[in-house]
Amino acid sequence: SGAAADASETIRLVDIDYQQQPAFFETMVARFYVGYGTSTLGLPGDAEQPAPHFYTSGTPGSYLESAYPLPGAMMNHFVLSNWYDSERCELLDNGSQVDESCTNPNVGSANTQVKIMKYYSGATLEGTVELDGFGPVPNARVMIERDAFSGEESADENGHVADGDDRTYWIPIGVTDADENGRFSFTVPAGKLRISAFFGEPDLDAARSVLMTTDVGQSLSDIFQENTPNRNINPITGILANVSGSTWLSETIVNVSGPAGHSNGEEVVYGNLSVAPSFATGRLVWSGAEFFDGDALTNVSIEISPSWDQVQLEPYTVDTSSGVVEGHDLSFQGIGEVTFTGEGTVVSQGIVTVSDFTGNYTQT
């Protein structure tokens, strides 16, 4: 104690070396403030963190140096409550602002240095994943994200709930699996939710490789996009929700009101997912001796079944042909010919020529 007589004896703090442990990222402090760390994502090396708030960086030299925080990631009862702001500049009838000096809030204006989390007992989200026109998609994986810029809205007289903040910042809050009939259920808080369906075995190692070999900040654009058709999910969200490497099928947006979010599961909201069907064509050929190599195998039954052992489906059987098939609801790629024996419809993305036709013909 006391001042040193010799200035050279004064102890000075030159630098601080923080050494985080993997267990730190399992604490409520870390999960609320940044949401995850390298240990959470299964990355090798020391436990390191993303940026704690906007306009800063994560641990220097780490895989997460340019990564963003996801406060409350994979927590469906505690969510951000202090980023929401529905106030916007007042407009005249011609669309101009009443006060030209007024500026609307953007994503970067959120108070990311302070995170206020709110507890919700939750509403019950129910839905089905269905292949349009065919039936349920069994065992699909369903990921739920919440927009950090959403709050406690009230339903109108028709029960419709609208989000009052037009900014977007998706944080994954949970994942569940649909049953064999495509049905799923999950407890969700109030706010704007994005419900996404995936199918197939995940590959988290490939996502980790992306994090270790690229600038992760360049791959996080889907966090800021309200809708993402044919989504390529960012590696951080994909690892946290265990969906990286799976095939994205479809998504829908659901707004949950404040009262529903506090209903202790009694209020039910619905988030059904419709998946557009796809098809595949191919040829089955011999491979071997020169005199038959490449020849087509016709009139052979091919059995198609899921490769992922978590999906239980009856095998689908299709027969090969010499190039001529008969039936309803057929499709093919490339150049072909369709012969009708009665009324019919052809949908084509290219040019269609009609010949030897008697009757009414319409092309749109």
Q: Look up the pTM and report it.
A: 0.80
Query: Does 161 reside within a domain?
Result: yes
> For residue 129, is it within any domain?
yes
Assigned domain for 212 exists: yes
**Could you read off the pLDDT of 206-263 as tens digits, one per residue?**
999 999 999 999 999 999 999 888 899 999 999 999 999 999 999 999 999 999 999 9
Is 63 in contact with 216 (CB distance < 8 Å)? yes
Name the domain count of the chain.
1
CB neighbours (10 Å) of residue 85? 16
Residue 292 structure tokens: 């038959």
Contact 244, 172 (CB under 8 A): no
Domain limits at 224? Answer: 18-87+110-278
Chain segment 7-26, per-residue pLDDT in tens: 677 777 777 777 889 999 99
CATH for 211: 2.60.40.10
Residue 363 in this model has a pLDDT that exceeds 50: yes
Residue 134 lies in a domain: yes
219: in domain: yes
Mean pLDDT of the chain: 88
Residue 299 belongs to a domain: no
CA distance 23 to 30: 10
In a domain, 101, yes or no: no
Domain-located, residue 315: no
CB 22 within 8 A of CB 60: no
